[in-house]
Amino acid sequence: MENNGKHKDVILVVDDQPNNLKVISSVLGDSYSLSFANNGPNALKILEKLEPDLILLDVMMPDMDGFEVCSRIKSDFRTKDIPVIFLTAKNDIEDIVRAFKAGAVDYITKPFNVMELKVRVSNHIMLRHAHLALEQSNLQLQKVNKEKDKFFSIIAHDLRNPFIGISSLSRIMMEQLKSQGNEEMEEFAREINQASNNAYNLLKNLLNWARSQTGKMEFNPERLQIRALIEETITLLKENARMKNIQLSVSAADDLYLSADREMLNIVLRNLISNAIKFTHEGGKVQVVAGAEDGLILVDVIDNGIGMSEKILADLFRIDASAGRKGTNGEPSTGLGLLLCQEFAMRNGGKVQAFSEQGKGSRFRISVPQA
């Protein structure tokens, strides 16, 4: 690469013939800073202290041939990414193949064309710089994402306690006002309780997402009975269903077992059943049906709610598209829960599928390997 007076890129030239070193110096010396080694061992010693941008390597040398030198360069984590170009009089196809197998990026035969050598050297050095710049950008991006995810996780975690307090106090208020016969204030307290629960569920999804993205969520698969997991989830969500007069039902045999991480599967079930309740009108139905087929446990969460358009259905599991919308009672939804469901299902060797028709309800299917 021409440097126009700026810092010159460094090339290590390895050749046991002084005349060859002199020729290469006359061709590349004006554009690059050259370092020379007259054999393989000396080249490896130089590389202990120097990190060139490119290496020009001869094949036929005493003590150690170019193929071995290249192999050693590529086996050392400090030098493995330095591009190596073989510059040699050997032009047999076997030698060329052997050079590329050793890790070379190019192969030029002597006598070489001066312009061809300059262009190939320049191109590979530019690629080297582009590779280094990309690595640096990736490292910086990883650092930014890690800091963002850490901050996000802290915020979500610290906000949980106030919402738990609001939910608990509003529930106590509901009970006290109900006993006093104050229906209007009881309804206000119920709305506060519902809003705090919705916000708390959103925070839980955010926290779980942050944990999954930062690799802090452990994966501990175990043998689980699917009916017990479903009933456990329904127990947590039955108040949500009761407030909308939605009938919740379960159909699952006792002998259905799967292998999965309990916490992840609970999150998947909770999000899907909660969504079914959220997008079903008052007086509707939500069914959870489990069965086995082809070595998989299949869990269908079926509702007769508002359904989805083809556009919403297509965007459900895309992180670059928003699938969030309000529930039938104005419940908030961001679509983040479905992204979590798909990620956790895949982590357990399964997947989540969605089937729906506008105005006619939806069916979400979880498939996980049978134990």
Return the residue matching tokens 């941008």.
Answer: 53
Q: Do both 371 and 234 map to the same domain?
A: yes
Which DSSP category does 307 fall into?
A: -
Region 104-110: what's the mean pLDDT?
A: 95
Q: Do both 228 and 107 map to the same domain?
A: no
Structural domain count, the chain: 2
Q: What is the average pLDDT score of the chain? A: 87
Q: Which of 112, 145, 164 is the last residue of a domain?
A: 112
Contact (CB, 8 A) for 38 and 67: no
Asked if the model's pLDDT at residue 216 lies above 70, the reply is: no
Q: Which of 112, 130, 158 is the last residue of a domain?
A: 112
pLDDT the model gives residue 166: 79
Lowest mean pLDDT among 80-89, 189-198, 228-237: 189-198
- d(CA 50, CA 42) in angstroms, rounded, equals 12
Return the residue matching tokens 């036929």.
Answer: 60
Q: Do both 371 and 245 map to the same domain?
A: yes
Q: Do both 223 and 87 map to the same domain?
A: no
Region 354-362: what's the mean pLDDT?
A: 93
Q: Do both 102 and 237 map to the same domain?
A: no
Asked if the model's pLDDT at residue 107 lies above 70, the reply is: yes
Contact (CB, 8 A) for 54 and 125: yes
Asked if the model's pLDDT at residue 152 lies above 70, the reply is: no
pLDDT the model gives residue 213: 64
Residue 151 domain-assigned (yes or no): no
Q: Do both 237 and 360 map to the same domain?
A: yes
Residue 259 domain-assigned (yes or no): yes
For residues 129 and 184, which has the higher predicted lDDT (pLDDT)?
Answer: 129
Region 286-315: what's the mean pLDDT?
A: 93
Q: Do both 90 and 238 map to the same domain?
A: no
Tokens of 111: 């006598």
Q: Which of 112, 135, 155 is the last residue of a domain?
A: 112
Asked if the model's pLDDT at residue 120 lies above 70, the reply is: yes
Residue 147 domain-assigned (yes or no): no
Q: How far apart are the first and last CA of the chain?
A: 60
Residue 279 domain-assigned (yes or no): yes
Residue 38 domain-assigned (yes or no): yes
- How would you classify residue 103: left for phi > 0, otherwise alpha for psi between -120 and 50, otherwise beta? left
Contact (CB, 8 A) for 289 and 252: yes
pLDDT the model gives residue 71: 96
Asked if the model's pLDDT at residue 371 lies above 50, the reply is: yes
- d(CA 335, CA 338) in angstroms, rounded, equals 6
By C-alpha distance, which of 299, 313, 311, 301 is closest to 356?
313
Contact (CB, 8 A) for 366 and 352: yes
Positive/negative CA dihedral, 339, 230, 290, 288? negative
Where does 233-332 show beta strands of DSSP type E? 247-251, 257-261, 285-293, 296-303
pLDDT the model gives residue 281: 94
CATH number of the domain residue 282 falls in: 3.30.565.10
pTM: 0.53
Q: Do both 105 and 253 map to the same domain?
A: no
Confidence class for position 210, pLDDT limits 50, 70, 90 = low
Q: Do both 239 and 368 map to the same domain?
A: yes
Return the residue matching tokens 């910086």.
Answer: 140
Show the domain range for 22.
10-112
Asked if the model's pLDDT at residue 50 lies above 50, the reply is: yes
How much of the chain is in helix, strand and coil states, percent to nearest 5?
Answer: 50, 20, 30
CATH number of the domain residue 78 falls in: 3.40.50.2300
Region 155-163: what's the mean pLDDT?
A: 68
Residue 360 domain-assigned (yes or no): yes
Q: Do both 370 and 223 map to the same domain?
A: yes
Region 16-43: what's the mean pLDDT?
A: 94
- Measured in whole angstroms, the distance separating CA 126 from the mean position of its chain's CA atoms is 29
Residue 204 domain-assigned (yes or no): no
- Burial of 292 from C-beta contacts in 10 A (0-12 / 13-18 / 19+): middle
Residue 78 domain-assigned (yes or no): yes
Q: Do both 223 and 350 map to the same domain?
A: yes
pLDDT the model gives residue 2: 47
Lowest mean pLDDT among 155-164, 223-232, 261-270, 281-290: 155-164
